[in-house]
Amino acid sequence: MILTGCDRLLLEAENLAGRRYGLLGHGASVTRDLRPTHLALAASAAGAPAALYGPEHGYYGVEQDMIASRDERDPWTGTPILSLYGDSVDSLRPSAGAFSRLDLLLIDLQDVGSRYYTYAATAVWAAEVALGAGVEVWVLDRPNPLGGEVIEGDLPRPGHESFVGAFANPVRHGLTLGELVRLEARRRDWPEGWRIWEMEGWRRRLRWPDTGLTWIAPSPNMPTFETALVFPGGCLVEATNLSEGRGTTRPFQLVGAPGIAAHRLAAALEQRGVPGVRFLPVYFRPQFQKHAGEVCAGVQLVVTDAECFASYRCGIELLAVVHDQFSESFGWRAEPYEFVGDQPAIDLLTGGPEFRLALENGVGVEEWVGSWADDEDRFRREREGVLLYS
C-alpha cells in the first residue's frame, strides 16, 4: 500500500499542533481515502490551515489554462484562498507578504511528470519566497504518474526559461515533486528550514495504475492517467494552430484541424515507427478554444504499450508530419504564451529553436532528436544525488 506524504503527515498530525500553517494545494490534494487535504487536516490535531494558496487553474481546478484565478474563501472552512496565478507574469511569484501570517507552508500538489506542467514552478518559487521570509516549508510528496525511471528529451537552452520550462530538466524527468524541489534546493543553495515528507511504498518502476490510488484530475484538461501519459508530446500542440483536443472529452489524445485528411495523417504517422502507440484517424468537434464548433480531422493517440511509449518523441513526430504534409492547415501559435510574447511558444516548450528551425529549413528532426541522449545522460547523473526512492 502506498501512503503519500499527506497521508504520512496526517498520521503524525501532532507535529502541526500550535503551528500557524498555510497549504498550497488544489483539487487533487486528497488523502488515500479521498478526503480533501485541508479538510482532513482541519479535522485532525493540526486544526484548520490559516491560509490556502491556489496554483494555475485555481485551488479547485476551475479555470482553463492561462485564465487568472482570483482570491476567494473556502466554502467549508471560511479560510482565505490566495491565488498564485493572476493576469501578469509578476503574479506567478508570491510576494513575501503572502506568507506573513505563517510560520509553516505545506505544499501538496499532484504533478504529472512533464517539464511544462506549471505546478513544479509554483511549488519551488513559493517555497523559495517562504524560506526567504523565515517561513518553514514542508513538501508532501506524491507519485510521478509516469514512473520514476524514464528520462526523455533535451535540456532547455539558456534564455528559454519560462513558466512552462522553469528548470533545466528534460521533458520527462522521472522525478516526484519532492525530488524536483530537492534538486532545485541543491541548485539554488537553499538555507535550512525545508523538509520533504516522503511517500511510503512507492517505487520508481510504478506508473499510476500500479499505485492503487484513485486518479483525481489535477487540472481541468488532465482527466485521466492516459492523458498524463500522452501529455509530454501532446502539449506541444498548444504551440500551433492545431486543436489539442481541448473542448472535447479527450484532451491531448485528439489532435487535428479542419482541412486535414485524417486517414492520410494516420498512415503517415504509422510510418514514423514511434514505439508503444497507434494513430487512429478520427473526426471531432471542440466545444471551446481552438476551432470551437468546427469539425476537425486528425488522429487519436492510442497507447498500446505504456512501458515503451516514447511520448515526447510522439509529439515531435506528429508536428513534423503535419508541418511537412499539411502545410496549408498548419501554423505556429502567434499569441503570447504564459505571459511570454517575444519568443515562439514552441521554442519555450522544446527548450530552444532547434526543432522549429529544423522544420522550417526542411532538414528533418533526426539529428536534433539524436542529440537528446547527451542531455538525458547528463541529467541522469545530476539527479542521482536527490532520488528518494529505490
**pLDDT tens digits, one per residue of 113-143:** 999 999 999 999 999 999 999 999 999 999 9
Three cell numbers, residue 282 = 478520427
- Provide, rounded to the nearest whole percent, the portion of the chain with pLDDT above 90: 99
User: Mean of the per-residue pLDDT values for the chain?
Assistant: 97
58 pLDDT exceeds 90? yes
Long-range contacts from 257-260, C-beta under 8 angstroms, 24+ separation: 257/290, 257/291, 257/296, 257/297, 257/298, 257/326, 257/329, 257/330, 258/291, 258/294, 258/295, 258/296, 258/297, 258/329, 259/297, 259/326, 259/328, 259/329, 260/296, 260/297, 260/298, 260/322, 260/326, 260/329
Three cell numbers, residue 116 = 511544462
Summarize the confidence of residues 11-32 as an average pLDDT.
97
20 pLDDT exceeds 90? yes
62 pLDDT exceeds 90? yes
pLDDT per position as a tens digit, 67-120: 999 999 999 999 999 999 999 999 999 998 999 999 999 999 999 999 999 999
Phi, psi of 142 (to 5 degrees): -135, 160
Residue 234: which pLDDT band, with cuts at 50, 70 and 90?
Answer: very high
Ordered structural domains, the chain, with CATH: 5-220+382-386 (3.40.50.12170), 225-352 (3.90.1150.140)
- Provide, rounded to the nearest whole percent, the portion of the chain with pLDDT above 70: 100
**Residue 49 is inside which H or E element, if any?**
none
Q: Does residue 119 contact residue 218 with C-beta atoms inside 8 Å?
A: yes
The predicted pLDDT at position 96 comes to 85
Summarize the confidence of residues 8-29 as an average pLDDT.
97
Give residue 190's identity as a one-letter amino acid code: W
**Residue 306 is inside which H or E element, if any?**
none
